[in-house]
Structure 1
Amino acid sequence: MDDIPFHVAGWLNTDRPLALGDFRGRVLAVEVFQMLCPGCVLNGLPQAQRLAQTFREEDLAVIGLHGVFEHHEGNSRLGLTAFLHEWRIRFPVAIDAGGDGPLPRTMEAWGLQGTPSLVLIDRAGRMRARHFGQVADMALGAQVARLIGEAAGESSP
């Protein structure tokens, strides 16, 4: 996980800054969202919450990455704090650092197209999936379960 670029300007819902390496040994689901994105609010974030509720915390960690690439004036840290409270989002949320291009730095480094996106990182710290848009719950659950079932250091196609 240490070699996956992760550029964070700040964190919410955690008492300390986190790094991807903090999740080594568990599968990590990263829900990349914007609070003003309808697909994120209606699909991506609720699905991330369901993942966090379905799988054991020892096996799967879920975090958010707020990646703003439009409507910058409406996406303040204060607004995001209120949004997370109102939508009862309890998992840690990183704020993607701004970049020189149209996408924030982490989103660009990870080759993401937009939001909502869901990134899965295996127990050994390798990025194994990047989903853009809505993902079927059953297919995602099967993919996460397969990653959880793998021993650290192994991968399957």
Structure 2
Amino acid sequence: MAAKSPDFAPTNRKQALRGRIVVLHAFQMLCPGCVSQGIPQASRIQAVFAERELVVIGLHTVFEHHAVMNADALQAFVQEYGLSFPIGIDQPSTQGNVPLTMQAYGLRGTPSLVMLDREGRIRLNHFGPIDDLPLGALLGQLVAEAPAHADEEGIPDPRPPGHGDGQANAGCDSGICARALQLDS
């Protein structure tokens, strides 16, 4: 059974995430694996999946060089790399080098990728690079899963019409669906 995720977003942001898959990408600006693999992968995920289904959130986390790894440096980095997903800055711990959100999720370093399902359960907590193919398979599985229960607060179901009601292939002709994903190479 998947564990419930720790809180990492303000209440108003948590409401906006309800019913969607969340991909949390923890990175550092000075991490070669983050810059060459993790950040481009997070951008590709955001480009492929509809925002009503999935949201990518970056988590800039700092273990060293705190004085220069500030919000201004991050803003320049985000602009330089053309990042368009929201990015939060992990807060330093008063005890040790591991920032607070990384501690809460049990992350071991960067790059790290955490995936939460529509119910907010941790379905993946991965340290280091991860190949696109198994990651895509897991994301596809999570998108296809129906929520475990209806939302008692009336928040609309983010899934496309027909999903889970026997009409999942509506709009498909000869195996080609109107809602096909377009991948840029």
Aligned 8 A contact 1:7 1:96 in 2: no
Q: Aligned in 2, Cα 1:5/1:101: closer, same or farther, shift over 3 Å? A: farther
For residues 22-33 of structure 1, the aligned pairs below 5 Å read 22-33=16-27
- Equivalent AA in structure 1 for residue 8 of structure 2: F
For residues 31-42 of structure 1, the aligned pairs below 5 Å read 31-42=25-36
What's the counterpart of residue 96 of structure 2? 101
**SS of structure 2 residue aligned to 1:146:** helix
For residues 108-147 of structure 1, the aligned pairs below 5 Å read 108-147=103-142
What's the counterpart of residue 52 of structure 1? 46
Q: Residue by residue, what CA displacement relative to the aligned partner does 1:27-85 show, whole Å, maximum 9, x if unpaired?
A: 00011001111110000000000000111111110010111112222311100000000
Identity of aligned residues (%): 46
What's the counterpart of residue 79 of structure 2? 85
145-154 or 33-42: which moved more? Answer: 145-154
Superposed CA RMSD: 2.1
63-72 or 41-50: which moved more? Answer: 63-72
Structure 2 regions of 5+ residues with no counterpart? 150-185
The structure that has the greater radius of gyration is 2
Cα distance in 1 for partners of 2:107, 2:116 equals: 14
Q: Kindly report structure 1 stretches of 4+ aligned residues shifted beyond 4 Å.
A: none
TM-score (norm 1): 0.86
Give 1 or 2: higher strand fraction: 1
Cα distance in 2 for partners of 1:78, 1:18 equals: 25
TM-score (norm 2): 0.73
Aligned 8 A contact 1:115 1:133 in 2: yes
RCO higher in structure (CA 8 A, sep ≥6): 1
Aligned 8 A contact 2:27 2:111 in 1: yes
What's the counterpart of residue 13 of structure 1? none
